[in-house]
Structure 1
Amino acid sequence: MELQTVEKKGKTIDEAIKAALDELNCSIDDVTVEVLEEPSKGLLGLVKKPALVRVTLKAKPEKEASSLVKEILQKMGLDCQVESAQFSGDTVRINLSGKDMGLVIGHKGETLDALQFIVGLMLNKKREEKIRVVIDVENYRKKKEESLEALALRLSDKVKKTKKQIIMRPMTSQERRIIHTALQGDPLITTYSLGEEPNRKVVIALKK
């Protein structure tokens, strides 16, 4: 992904940086700064040589992730587009749409999970602070999440009535996280994971 870079001169480094920020129309938090030449003064304190800086816009995570998704989907020969990409907190959320959505989702969402995993690895390759990537297809994940949340609430009610724990079907780590999150505020219910991947399950039980 090509980044926008400008080089600017100024009597001081700060002045040169400000000129670059004005041209890029951004703040200092949005860029990286490289000082190419320090300013120097001649007789009577006059500036003999100005400061020279190179200022580069940081890649925005949502734009970078979108580019990665588009590149991968194009190589897979799938007819789909990035409908939206948003970055909030530490998470990039991308929603896709198009003709080949079934192929992108795959069996039980496995292809979508793989795409999400690969994009996450590539996006975080050179980052110190890791960014979480969530890729959805025409709100497939959102609908699935809402369905799992509803299931978690129904099962927790059953546990309260029968006083017996319930062991759910094997789930992915993301599905298990949804169950745990949905029930974490219930003062009577506890949840924990049991077993080994790929057959790890969520247990819903009464708090002791």
Structure 2
Amino acid sequence: MREVTATGQSVNDAVESALTQLHATRDQVEIEILDEGKKGLFGLFGNRSSVVKVSLVDNPIEETRNFLLNVATKMGIVIEITVTERDREVEYQLSGKDIALLIGKRGQTLNSLQYLAQLVFNRHTKQFRTIIVDAENYRSRRKDTLEQLAIKLADKAIKTRKDVALEPMPSYERKIIHTVLVKNRNVKTFSAGEEPFRHLVISPLKKEQVANARV
């Protein structure tokens, strides 16, 4: 965080001087008045200048965007980033020629980028917001795949009468599968293991459990 201390004939003059030095606008800074100053007799004797400390506040959205651009550059990938804000969520949509390298196998690289992006964002603000890093709408396609997988593996659990453990995946992907199967009265889902190996288990219900569930 950059900051400057500036003086002026008034608080406003001092603030404007600081903003000029920081090349910033008022909505990008925090202002602390150190001395409001004093006008002397007849404006000539006993004058005291106003003193302020103006600090340039980091923009967490831009800092996170710069982080993602920097990672891509170091990987030799040229990307464009579209940022979308909605409620308490910020989405970074990545696009580019070699975007598959940033997605990785089953989205593992993309998930790692999202985890790191969340850390970067949180480091620059005290206001929590959910960070989503996507690449050419991969997450939408992944959601469709997971929903189909959930139905398929639930059928397998019911037919074999055995638990079916899925591969480790982030919490929001586990939630997708859970949401699909929550109305299936023949199975239940639960998470097992510790991060980063936490995974979802689809477990068939016993006949008496199924009967109770339908009551």
Q: 1:97 to 1:39 in 2, by over 3 A?
A: same
Q: 1:148 to 1:5 in 2, by over 3 A?
A: farther
Please name the residue that 1:172 is paired with: 169
Within-5 A mapping of 1:1-208:
9=8, 11=10, 13=11, 31-43=29-41, 48-56=47-55, 58-82=57-81, 84-149=82-147, 151-152=149-150, 154=151, 167-173=164-170, 174-181=172-179, 186=183, 191-197=189-195, 198=197, 200-203=199-202, 208=213
Residues 25-48 of structure 1 show CA distances to partners (whole Å, capped at 9, x for unaligned) of: 665xx5311334332343479992
Identity percentage over the alignment?
A: 29
Q: Partner letter of residue 170 of structure 1?
A: E
Q: 1:196 to 1:71 in 2, by over 3 A?
A: closer
> Is residue 117–residue 131 contact of structure 2 (8 Å, CA) maintained in 1?
yes
1:104 offset after TM fit, Å? Answer: 1.0
Q: Partner letter of residue 71 of structure 1?
A: N
> What secondary structure is seen at the aligned counterpart in 1 of 2:120?
helix
Name the TM-score, length of structure 2 as normaliser. Answer: 0.66
Higher strand share: 1
How many residues are matched? 198
Give the Cα–Cα distance (whole angstroms) in 2 for the partners of residues 103 and 167 of structure 1.
30
Give the Cα–Cα distance (whole angstroms) in 1 for the partners of residues 200 and 154 of structure 2.
19
1:172 offset after TM fit, Å? Answer: 0.8
Name the TM-score, length of structure 1 as normaliser. Answer: 0.68
1:93 offset after TM fit, Å? Answer: 0.8
Give structure 2 stretches of 5+ with no counterpart.
none
1:158 offset after TM fit, Å? Answer: 5.9
